[in-house]
Amino acid sequence: MMTNRLKIGEFSRLCRVTVRTLRHYEEIGLLVPEIVDQFTGYRYYSIEQLQKMQSILQLKGMGFSLEEIRELYEDDTHVPGIDALEEKIRVCENELRLLRARKTQLQAMVTTQKKLKKMEKITIESLPAIIVATHRTTIHSFEDLGPLCYKVIGPEMARLGCECPEPGYCYTIEHGGYKPTDIDIEYCEKVAAKGKDSDIIKFKDIPEVPTAVCMKVYGPYERLYQNYIDLFAWMEKEGWKVAGSPRAVYVDGIWNQEDPEKWLTIIQVPAEKA
């Protein structure tokens, strides 16, 4: 009669363990099937063995080894004594101390790596004197900058015959400080020579900047505000003060990178030692 018996597959699903695990438990004598059919080799477990399996899983979850669990059942106690439980508590406390120490080491390494990464993208450079074609206007947000460049500034510079030497160099200055909306922005692009001013484009001589603190920034433009804050904080800590209008230099953007995370902007801040 097999009415109250479960095949190994059924038993494994109910206990949420693999058939391989059940076969291993059978091999070490921890949980042997109630019946093994001598003709088919099919293994059948009893309903009562479900409770034993749950007890095994509970003890295993508390840190008892399979050997320790088997000894409990061989001694017919099924439940560990107070001494055994207190020993497992001591083991847990030791493991917790080790884990806390490991966590402290990992956090220290993360902090060091972050500092190194930030230092790698901050450099001190000089900026040469250049001639630029400029256009100043107010835009609602940085999302308007791209259309402004290819719909207004680019066509006008082409009409005026502007020659832009390689490598290209273009940047913006936010007059009145950085704001997320209603930005008073001046777009500047390096040109080979001055042309005749128009209603849209003006030409300027930009003097050399002997010292600029520069920071590489990857990602969409709405992150620039926080990057400015981080850079200014770094400058203050390192004894630098702002000595001119900060520039946001656009190296990679929507014109050559579809993924905003790959957009590269370099913040250049004219600086001198405080």
How far is the C-alpha of 240 from the C-alpha of 242, rounded, in Å? 7
Non-local CB neighbours of 201 within 8 Å, separated by 6+ positions: 133, 134, 135, 153, 156, 157, 160, 162, 195
Non-local CB neighbours of 206 within 8 Å, separated by 6+ positions: 129, 130, 131, 132, 188
For residue range 57-88, list pLDDT tens digits in order: 999 999 999 999 888 888 767 788 888 899 99
- Secondary structure string (H, E, C) spanning the chain: CCCCEEEHHHHHHHHCCCHHHHHHHHHCCCCCCCEECCCCCCEEEECHHHHHHHHHHHHHHCCCCHHHHHHHHHCCCCCCCHHHHHHHHHHHHHHHHHHHHHHHHHHHHHHHHHHHHHHHCEEEEEECCEEEEEEEEEECCHHHHHHHHHHHHHHHHHHCCCCCCCCCCEEEEECCCCCCCCEEEEEEEEECCCCCCCCCCEEEEECCEEEEEEEEEECCHHHHHHHHHHHHHHHHHHCEEECCCCEEEEEECCCCCCCHHHCEEEEEEEEEEC
Report residues of the chain scoring pLDDT below 50: 1
* The pLDDT value given to residue 1: 46
What CATH number matches the domain at 124-273, 3.40.50.2300, 3.60.9.10, 3.20.20.80, 3.20.80.10?
3.20.80.10
* The pLDDT value given to residue 249: 94
* The pLDDT value given to residue 75: 75
Nearest Cα neighbor of 214 from 122, 148, 131 is 122
What CATH number matches the domain at 5-80, 1.10.3210.10, 1.10.1660.10, 1.10.760.10, 1.20.1600.10?
1.10.1660.10
* The pLDDT value given to residue 115: 59
For residue range 210-243, list pLDDT tens digits in order: 999 999 988 888 788 888 888 999 999 999 999 9
